Amino acid sequence: MKKDKMKPNKAEIIEVIQETGSNLNVKTYRVKFIDEDVRNSFSFRPGQFMMVTVFGKGEAPFGFASSPTQEYVELSIKETGRVTSAMHNLAEGDIIGIRGPYGNGFPVERAEGKNLVFIGGGIGIAPLRSLINYVLDESKRDQFGNVQMLHAFRSPEDALFKYDHAMWENSPDTVVKYTIDNPCDDWEHCVGFPHTLLASELDCELPDALFFTCGPPIMIKFITEELKKMGIEKKNIITTLEMRMSCGFGKCGRCNIGHYYVCKDGPVFTFEQLNEMPSEY
Ligand SMILES: Cc1cc2nc3c(=O)[nH]c(=O)nc-3n(C[C@H](O)[C@H](O)[C@H](O)COP(=O)(O)OP(=O)(O)OC[C@H]3O[C@@H](n4cnc5c(N)ncnc54)[C@H](O)[C@@H]3O)c2cc1C
Ligand code: FES
């Protein structure tokens, strides 16, 4: 990456995937760095994030939605406001700016040899997908134990990464469950909020399990309460925070909670760490 940490590297959008067909408007962008040196040297960890510039519109942080084992970078963006709407207006061939990667990322080394449980909701599945596809990559799969996933969407139209589902379901020692909020025709999976399904759909008592959860704050709250009731230790429940950010690397102070800078010390934290923080997040 370039030495000037604030200077974005140009990247071309090579594919745009419209993920959802409902009010939740999410698109996934596959991008390729223009500069060959950057392209060849760029690396990141699942759970890290990048600062993305839509030229003339602004900059915003987004997690990596792809695995570092893939030769391209993908980001999935929910249309929310100014920068995300501008991003949604871009098409294949358009150029964006990317700086990073920033942040700590998921504790991949700590996850090695362990059973892993992923509980994602809505756009929160995007950062989890980076780690899921890393763990399920053929070159890495034998470094991890059983994998279980519960993905929650409001409705079938909101399901993200449908093109990954068969690969996830066919991976060895992997259980994949999907749930929607309310029953509807032609839906063959679970129905109900994910915390109500943990006991019946997943085996949360597998020894040595690490739990990764990401989604709307209300979902995370209920999931952690349920996991705690099951006796799961807070240090084994891991999430990633979304704060407003500016520099992305611990200089501007925009993202601090107590003495933590979410951009530098996070965005990935265990619930043991979050419990030590002031209740601003
Ligand atoms: C580390 C990190 C990773 C992220 N990864 C993703 C991702 O993979 N995909 C994705 O779609 N989004 C992600 N986000 C959130 C994304 O950065 C915001 O949605 C984006 O900055 C909104 O910009 P905007 O200009 O479109 O919205 P604005 O016009 O600035 O705001 C629109 C609305 O969104 C709220 N908002 C804006 N930024 C945030 C924020 N950071 N947290 C909570 N609410 C906010 C505002 O209060 C306002 O209500 C991530 C954020 C962080 C910090
Ligand atoms: S975004 Fe600047 S210190 Fe975190």
Residue 213 pLDDT more than 60? yes
Task: Please tell me which residue, 56 or 6, carries the higher pLDDT value.
Answer: 56
pLDDT, position 281: 54
- Residue bearing the CA closest to ligand 2, atom 3: 250
Residue 238 pLDDT more than 50? yes
Mutate to test the pocket of ligand 1, among 80, 123, 243 (most ligand atoms within 8 A of CB): 80
If you measure from the C-alpha of residue 243 to the centroid of ligand 2, how many angstroms do you get, rounded to a whole number? 9
pLDDT band at 81 (very low <50, low <70, confident <90, very high): very high
If you measure from the C-alpha of residue 280 to the centroid of ligand 2, how many angstroms do you get, rounded to a whole number? 16
pLDDT, position 2: 46
Q: Establish whether residue 242 lines the binding site of ligand 1, counting it when its CB lies within 6 angstroms of any ligand atom.
A: yes
pLDDT band at 35 (very low <50, low <70, confident <90, very high): very high
Tokens of 131: 């780690």
- Residue bearing the CA closest to ligand 1, atom 52: 242
Task: Please tell me which residue, 179 or 259, carries the higher pLDDT value.
Answer: 179
pLDDT, position 3: 55
User: Which residue bears the tokens 């029953």?
Assistant: 183
Residue 276 pLDDT more than 90? no
Evaluated on CA atoms 84, 90, 91, 92, the torsion sign reads negative
If you measure from the C-alpha of residue 169 to the centroid of ligand 1, how many angstroms do you get, rounded to a whole number? 30
The whole-number average pLDDT for the span 169-182 is: 96
For the chain, what is the mean pLDDT?
94
Domains of the chain from N-terminus onward:
9-101 (2.40.30.10), 108-240 (3.40.50.80)
pLDDT, position 23: 75
pLDDT, position 145: 96
- According to DSSP, the residues that pair with 271 across neighbouring strands are none
pLDDT, position 170: 96
- Decide: helix, strand or coil at residue 175: strand
Q: Establish whether residue 61 lines the binding site of ligand 1, counting it when its CB lies within 6 angstroms of any ligand atom.
A: yes
If you measure from the C-alpha of residue 71 to the centroid of ligand 1, how many angstroms do you get, rounded to a whole number? 26
Measured CA angle at 244 (ends 243, 250), to 5 deg? 85
Residue 109 pLDDT more than 70? yes
Mutate to test the pocket of ligand 2, among 52, 261, 281 (most ligand atoms within 8 A of CB): 261
Residue 22 pLDDT more than 80? no
Question: What is the 3-class SS of 49-81, one letter each residue?
Answer: EEEEEECCCEEEEEECCCCCCCCCEEEEEECCC
Print burial letters for 237-263: b (CB count within 10 Å at least 16), e (below 16).
bbbbbbbebebbbeeeeebbbeebbbb
Q: Which ligand is in closest contact with the Cα of 49?
A: 1
Residue 60 pLDDT more than 90? yes
Residue 1 pLDDT more than 60? no
- For the CA atoms of the chain, what is the radius of gyration? 18
113-152 pLDDT, tens per residue? 999 999 999 999 999 999 999 999 999 999 999 999 999 9
Report how far residue 79's alpha carbon sits from residue 88's, in angstroms, rounded to the nearest whole number.
Answer: 7
Residue 112 pLDDT more than 90? yes
